[in-house]
Chains A and B, each alone.
Chain A
Amino acid sequence: MHTTEQLSGGPDVADLTIDVRNLTRVEGEGSLHLQVRDGVVESARLEIFEAPRYFERLVVGRTMDEVIDIVTRICGICPVAYQMTAVHAAEAAFGIDVDPAVAALRRLFYCGEWIESHALHLYLLHLPDFLGYPSALDLARDHRSAVEGGLRLKRAGNHIVATIGGRAIHPVSVRVGGFSRILRRDEIRALRADLEEALGLAEATIDLVATLQPPTFRRDMRLVALRDPSAYPMNHGRIVSNDGIDLAADAWESLFDEHQVAWSHALQAHAPDGRPYLLGPAARVTLDGDRLHPRAAAALDRLGLADEIAHEPHWSIAARAIELVHAVAEAIDIVEAYEPPLEAAVAWRPRAGRAAWATEAPRGMLFQRFDLDEGGCVTDARIVPPTSQNQAAIEADLAAFAPTVLERPRAEVTHLMEQLIRSYDPCISCATHFLDVQVEELS
């Protein structure tokens, strides 16, 4: 569990190996391996060695309500994303129409997770890189009010999740057909004060981001996100890309596939043309910018970084800031309009079939598919988290970025590579789960 940084080669950086064991300020356990020979990047790998936990097997034999409770445990940072994807998949398979108030609450729930997760990443994990600190706790010694503001923003997100789900991590109330109890109007309205403050903090985050000076690295990347007919994508949408992909969310497996590679306990996902793709806030802001809440759209106009967000991975921090404004502003709208449903959950009966759905986790699109028997129990499952889909794109970016900085002192090269990895907000705990793998032959 210590950092070993192995550096070799002469000052001309003709040959260079950088190994950072156990990357910091990411969720879960991963390493960076970069190999340069004769000045050419030979390999750039995000190595994922988080211990496998076999979730697709653990859900076999379980009901979809049990699946909601189990898949939540894949990730402590984005439990809502796992619950939302599973519950929507189940309701689609069982032909359930939920109460509009339940649908609104679920969107509010997702806003809460985006706020919590984005504030965590932006202030506690990512911002220290831009300002030259090893952690947000060190950053707080010199910039206490900024870090305190980030923590209050994060708290506002957790407050939403805990109100609807009982607690911030692994909430308990999501059930097939609705929730386990009716959320009263006064409980939801009580979020209002926190969210009013959070909106100011989110807009202040935009101003903070505008002062940052990330390293320059520009490239064209295939971006993939959900697209909803009217809303910014969270719980619903078709899968679209900036190069023409357009398919139903439950049809992920008809286009994409996963492969095992030797250096990762996460499967890497690929499109049939083999071209990597990137999910997450930058993809969403780029592909769904016209669906942003007016407050967030105005913030993006003011910030003026839409082109950078689409082409420069370091500017993902700006996309996260925009989505913070969006999620807080939309949460306020939902809180204002909320009227409780008539019943906590609608009655339903299980049936055999295939339950498949995708939602937008904070880090990008999350796909789940469950094959169900007549009793509604799982016979087979596939779970494809955003980070395992992003892994190939991250590696492609590392390979493209490395040659532009190799002349610099090696400690700086290492730091720059780590900073680039952190800009994708990789969730390595999520990524490791895998099953039904195909071996990719490596030369």
Chain B
Amino acid sequence: MTLAAATSGRTAVPARPRIAIVKFASCDGCQLTLLDLEDELLAIAERIDLVEFAEATSQRSSGPYDVLFVEGSVSTPEQAEEIVRLRAASTLLVTIGACATSGGIQALRNWADHDLVRAAVYPDPTMVDSLATATPIADHVAVDAEIRGCPISPAQLREFVTALLVGRRPGLPDEAVCAECKRRNIVCVAVARGITCLGPVTRTGCGALCPAYGRGCYGCFGPRESANGPGLARWLERDLPPADVARAFALFNAWSPPFRTVIDEAGGPPGPIDGRPTPEASDAHH
């Protein structure tokens, strides 16, 4: 089922939906965002059945769920099995945050040789279950909707939940951070101050937060639709060596295809997290 169908009022999502929030490899910040809706939390709780949310309630349910919110990336063999079970138990599956949507910061290990990482990390690797990669939920099961961000924005979560409850399509804009930055009358940090900024290729939702705080966008909402990562990289390379351009992309959404391409072209992220030689960065500090 698509989100459009689910929120058009013609769907199986009932007026009082059974909602579950689960997590895989992540920091807990995106699910915490629900509890950070301090002014609306109790009102929302009256409209839904929160049947599974281990961080907040001792009541548990293994399903079925009308809506499942998933935080975190798939990083262990158990998680790869569990997400399939959860998908089957859910009508709608919504990923929340960069880890679930693109793999998160821990996906930087996807460039490393897993055997080398294991040898570097564990005297006895058999004591720990870990997959070679940390991957987005959509690599494993169908995803109906994504709420972006590292972390997700409280305003977007509120909008999504409201739309779900009233049966309309949620308004989650796909424009670039630049558009919101211009509307806020923020002086462009890239043009005026020469600061590396991923705003042109990053989806909005933060309110152009980093430029508003005097620094460049670091891409935490991930690429917008049809983002041209390499195009921005070429522009940035007028002032920076490719390895330093790549390190700007090699953060929370590094594994998303438009950012991954830039990192691959530079020979991988800074590192070496597995002890191998790293691409040269002429002046890492700027």
Chain A interface (Cβ < 8 Å from any Cβ of B): 1-3, 22-29, 50-54, 57-58, 60-63, 66, 69-70, 73-77, 79, 120, 124-125, 128, 134-138, 140, 144, 147-148, 151-152, 154-155, 158, 165-170, 172-173, 175, 180-181, 260, 262, 265, 344, 350, 375-377, 418, 429, 434-439
Contact of B76 among A51, A77, A124 (CB under 8 A): A51
List the B side residues contacting A63 at CB < 8 Å. Answer: 284-285
Q: How far is the CB of A202 from chain B (nearest CB, A)?
A: 15
List the A side residues contacting B35 at CB < 8 Å. Answer: 120, 124, 154
Q: Is B270 an interface residue (CB 8 A)?
A: yes
Contact A58 B62 (CB under 8 A): no
Stretch at the interface among B53-61, B160-168, B227-235: B53-61
B contact residues, total (Cβ < 8 Å) = 79
Q: Nearest CB to that of A156 among chain B residues?
A: B38
List the B side residues contacting A128 at CB < 8 Å. Answer: 58
Q: Roughly how many angstroms separate A189 CA and B285 CA in the complex, as a whole number?
A: 34
Contact of A167 among B120, B122, B206 (CB under 8 A): B206
A-B contact pairs, 13 of them (CB 8 A): A1-B22, A1-B62, A26-B55, A51-B24, A61-B281, A75-B27, A76-B28, A120-B35, A137-B57, A165-B213, A169-B151, A181-B215, A439-B127
Tell me the chain B residues, 30-68 only, with Cβ under 8 Å from chain A: 30-33, 35-36, 38-39, 41-42, 45, 50, 52, 54-62
Q: Nearest CB to that of A50 among chain B residues?
A: B25
Q: Roughly how many angstroms separate A140 CA and B43 CA in the complex, as a whole number?
A: 11
Q: How far is the CB of B208 from chain A (nearest CB, A)?
A: 10
Q: How far is the CB of B17 from chain A (nearest CB, A)?
A: 15
Contact B109 A54 (CB under 8 A): yes
Q: How far is the CB of A173 from chain B (nearest CB, A)?
A: 5
Q: Roughly how many angstroms separate A120 CA and B109 CA in the complex, as a whole number?
A: 32
List the B side residues contacting A439 at CB < 8 Å. Answer: 123-124, 127
Contact B124 A169 (CB under 8 A): no
Q: Is the interface of A mostly helix, strand, loop or mixed?
A: loop
Contact of A73 among B105, B130, B271 (CB under 8 A): B105
Q: Nearest CB to that of B270 among chain A residues?
A: A61
Contact B58 A24 (CB under 8 A): yes
The answer to whether A76 and B30 touch (CB under 8 A), given A53-B75, A135-B57, A166-B209, is yes
List the B side residues contacting A437 at CB < 8 Å. Answer: 121-123
Contact B58 A58 (CB under 8 A): no
Q: Is B176 an interface residue (CB 8 A)?
A: no
Q: Nearest CB to that of B123 among chain A residues?
A: A439
Choose among B109, B251, B270 the residue with the greatest number of A CB atoms under 10 Å from its CB.
Answer: B270
Q: Is B239 an interface residue (CB 8 A)?
A: no
Q: Nearest CB to that of A183 among chain B residues?
A: B213
Q: Roughly how many angstroms separate A388 CA and B223 CA in the complex, as a whole number?
A: 35
Contact B285 A375 (CB under 8 A): yes
Q: Is B159 an interface residue (CB 8 A)?
A: no
Contact of A170 among B29, B58, B127 (CB under 8 A): B29
Q: Is B148 an interface residue (CB 8 A)?
A: no
Contact of A375 among B79, B210, B284 (CB under 8 A): B284
Contact B127 A134 (CB under 8 A): no
Contact B215 A57 (CB under 8 A): no
List the A side residues contacting B28 at CB < 8 Å. Answer: 27-28, 75-77, 429
Contact B62 A134 (CB under 8 A): no
Contact A135 B59 (CB under 8 A): yes
The answer to whether A51 and B42 touch (CB under 8 A), given A260-B127, A429-B27, is no
Contact A168 B36 (CB under 8 A): yes
The answer to whether A61 and B271 touch (CB under 8 A), given A172-B215, A376-B285, A438-B123, is yes
